[in-house]
Amino acid sequence: MKHLKNQQGAAMVELAIALPLFLALLLAVVDFGLYFNKRIVLQAAAYNYTNEAAANNCQDPGRKIIDETVKNIISDSTTTISFTGKAIDSGYTPARPTARYRVQLTYNGKNTLLSVFTKNIPGLYPMTAIGVSHCSN
């Protein structure tokens, strides 16, 4: 087999082809990782909020619980988290009646520099987390 004598620059061409693909893959992994992190934090805030409400006989614990859970992870100038929380009746009369407390958090995320991959996927934003807990009476 005949070897080509002039192979200078072959590694640079291979790098020029492979590097953009590798960087795009790396950016996608980071982007989706940040997205799922925000989703988990939002769900944890809903969970903590309903647990606090349930421990206080379905009294609204206030927005402090949500703010404490979310403040360091999803904190930028355009963050808006809206929530609705209320005690709901189950609709039937069990032997031991209990009420439930339900909260729904909605996060309207902003597109950051890293959100190249997640900003155009329908259904990712706004994020919604629902927490339901039984109240102790």
* Residue 105: inside a domain: yes
Q: Specify the pLDDT at position 110.
A: 65
* Residue 1: inside a domain: no
Span 49-61, pLDDT tens digits: 788 777 777 676 6
- Copy the structure tokens of residue 22: 């590798």
Helix-strand-coil percent breakdown of the chain, rounded to 5? 40, 20, 45
* Residue span of the structural domain in which 46 resides: 10-134
- pLDDT category of residue 87 using cuts at 50, 70 and 90: low
* Residue 3: inside a domain: no
Whether the pTM exceeds 0.95: the reply is no
Domain count, the chain: 1
| Closest CA relative to residue 46, chosen from 82, 89, 22 | 82
Cα separation, 25 vs 31, whole angstroms: 10
* Residue 2: inside a domain: no
* Residue 4: inside a domain: no
